């Protein structure tokens, strides 16, 4: 019997759309060769030869996708939260990331990060590394060992950084990136390379142009940052005065959607021109609510993006966000949307629980293809949630228990099982 073919029994809940949850109490989730065959109230005869794990009264939900997270920043999470973005980068981020030229340090730091991510609700992630190729290779190895499904990026930056972190020049950076792609593309089962210009201010025109050529040559996806902070946007305009908006810089070099599947973190202050470009090119928004609070960046207009049909998922942006909990990320997304509605635009109603659950699962999962749902044909990522530790006198239904987990997960929820791409991780 294949290890990626099985049945899970429990109280099953997943998002069909951003507005509709599917709930099957004491249902059967069928996985064959790593792919969901659907959820059933009674196990069909054709699947009765598969091994069944009965999780009794526990919740079974899809695994969650973190669309934006910085692995090398994990050691200083929870620090420097009194600073805005650009000062925070100079004070905390760049000095920390420069330490990853030391492989002994990278071994320890990435070991902790990978193990903690494995124990979290995240089954898929889009991950920033550093400019250092050996350390990024090590990060990919660590993540592959977890069984999680990830994109990992060697960062590119050849200007406007500290001397010990800035790459020598565009040619050197591109040669190193090309060699890294050749070494890692297809090397792992679950871990894949992604092109990673840190953000436009740290990348020269020749570097961006070269990354665009690498994208076309290797067909890799792209990750970066976009319109996170007002000072950052002004800086981009000074550096690239010909651009119509921040996103136009990436678009000019072939790094903004279309054939280059792209996820951009934040999009807090995107202009109308930028929103139209994102929509036209199918660019994903990685909404990082806790980071946007901590770094005083603002509130992204996620309701608008959803109405415009722009694909959206959630990101912890750790260490701009203080932790890697996707439950906390969902709760924060609801909270900041209420502030946006109250303080910025009362025509944009707050996000509902069903919507943020969709963003954390099917919405972000779609960046990887068919992931984040239990619908037939989706790769099987699943979390088994034991919420008995959340004490209450009330008897709740499955949907209510899910909502409670989103807000109280760190209080008394236990991860009793975790599956990624059809294989048991925990």
> Domain segments of the chain: what residues?
6-62+373-424, 64-368
pLDDT of residue 3: 87
What is the rounded (10 degree) CA torsion for 369, 375, 381, 384?
160
Task: Give the side-chain half-sphere CA count within 13 A for 127.
Answer: 30
The pair of three-digit structure tokens given for residue 118, joined into one six-digit string: 């494995």
411 — pLDDT class (breaks 50, 70, 90): confident
Q: In the block, which residue shows the tokens 């598969």?
A: 50
Contact 53, 417 (CB under 8 A): yes
Provide mean pLDDT across the span 358-372: 98
Residues 184-214: pLDDT tens digits? 999 999 999 999 999 999 999 999 999 999 9
The pair of three-digit structure tokens given for residue 28, joined into one six-digit string: 């059967």
Contact 284, 262 (CB under 8 A): yes
pLDDT of residue 73: 98
Q: What is the mean pLDDT of the chain?
A: 97
pLDDT exceeds 70 at position 162: yes
The Cα 16–Cα 32 span in angstroms is: 20
The Cα 358–Cα 17 span in angstroms is: 7
3.40.50.2300, 3.30.70.270, 3.40.449.10, 3.20.20.140: CATH of 64-368: 3.20.20.140
Q: In the block, which residue shows the tokens 């060992």?
A: 145
pLDDT exceeds 60 at position 1: no
pLDDT exceeds 90 at position 138: yes
Provide mean pLDDT across the span 258-284: 98
Residues 56-66: pLDDT tens digits? 999 999 999 99
Residues 35-45: pLDDT tens digits? 999 999 999 99
- Determine the 3-state secondary structure of 82 from DSSP: coil
Contact 419, 425 (CB under 8 A): yes
Residue 400 makes CB contacts below 8 A (sequence gap 6+) with none
pLDDT of residue 415: 96
Q: Residue 174, Cβ neighbours under 10 Å: how many?
A: 20
409 — pLDDT class (breaks 50, 70, 90): confident
Residues 282-340: pLDDT tens digits? 999 999 999 999 999 999 999 999 999 999 999 999 999 999 999 999 999 999 999 99
What is the rounded (10 degree) CA torsion for 181, 182, 187, 191?
10
Written out in words, the top-level CATH class of the domain with range 6-62+373-424 is mainly beta
- The two beta strands, 35-40 and 64-70, are unpaired
Residues 375-391: pLDDT tens digits? 999 999 999 999 999 99
Find, among 347, 348, 349, 375, the residue nearest to 361 by Cα. Answer: 375
DSSP state of 349: P
The pair of three-digit structure tokens given for residue 46, joined into one six-digit string: 């054709």
Provide mean pLDDT across the span 141-159: 98
Give yes or no on whether 6-62+373-424 and 64-368 have one common fold. no
Structural Rg of the chain based on CA atoms:
21
């Amino acid at each position: 019997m294949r290890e990626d073919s099985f049945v899970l029994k429990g109280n099953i809940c997943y998002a069909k759309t951003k507005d509709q949850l599917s709930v099957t109490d004491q249902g059967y989730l069928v996985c064959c060769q790593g792919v969901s065959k659907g959820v059933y109230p009674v196990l069909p005869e054709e699947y009765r030869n598969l091994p069944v794990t009965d999780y009794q009264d526990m919740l079974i939900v899809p695994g969650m996708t973190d669309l934006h997270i910085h692995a090398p920043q994990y050691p200083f999470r929870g620090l420097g939260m009194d600073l805005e973005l650009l000062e925070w980068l100079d004070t905390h981020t760049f000095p920390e990331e420069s330490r990853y030229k030391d492989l002994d340090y990278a071994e320890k730091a990435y070991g902790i990060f990978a193990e903690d991510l494995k124990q979290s609700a995240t089954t898929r992630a889009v991950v920033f590394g550093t400019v250092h190729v050996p350390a990024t290779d090590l990060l990919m190895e660590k993540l592959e060992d977890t069984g999680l499904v990830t994109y990992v990026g060697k960062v590119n930056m050849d200007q406007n950084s500290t001397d010990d972190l800035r790459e020598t020049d565009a040619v050197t950076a591109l040669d190193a990136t090309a060699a890294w792609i050749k070494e890692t593309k297809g090397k792992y089962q679950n871990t894949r390379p992604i092109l990673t210009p840190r953000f436009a201010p740290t990348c020269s025109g020749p570097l961006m142009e070269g990354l665009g050529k690498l994208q076309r040559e290797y067909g890799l996806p792209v990750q970066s940052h976009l319109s996170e902070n007002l000072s950052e946007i002004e800086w981009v305009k000074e550096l690239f005065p010909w651009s119509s908006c921040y996103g136009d810089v990436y678009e000019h070099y072939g790094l903004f959607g279309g054939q280059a599947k792209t996820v951009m973190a934040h999009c807090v202050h995107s202009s109308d021109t930028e929103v139209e470009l994102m929509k036209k090119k199918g660019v994903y928004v990685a909404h990082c609510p806790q980071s946007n609070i901590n770094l005083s960046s603002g509130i992204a207009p996620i309701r608008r993006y959803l109405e415009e049909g722009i694909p959206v998922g959630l990101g912890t942006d750790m260490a701009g966000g203080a932790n890697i909990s996707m439950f906390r990320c969902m709760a924060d997304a609801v909270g900041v949307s209420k502030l946006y509605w109250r303080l910025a635009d009362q025509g944009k109603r707050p996000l509902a629980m069903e919507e943020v659950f969709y963003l954390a699962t099917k919405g972000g999962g779609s960046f990887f293809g068919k992931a984040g749902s239990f619908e037939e044909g989706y790769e099987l990522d699943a979390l088994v949630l034991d919420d008995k530790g959340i004490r209450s006198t009330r008897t709740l239904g499955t949907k209510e228990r899910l909502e409670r987990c989103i807000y109280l997960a760190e209080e008394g929820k236990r991860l009793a099982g975790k599956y990624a791409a059809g294989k048991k991780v925990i």
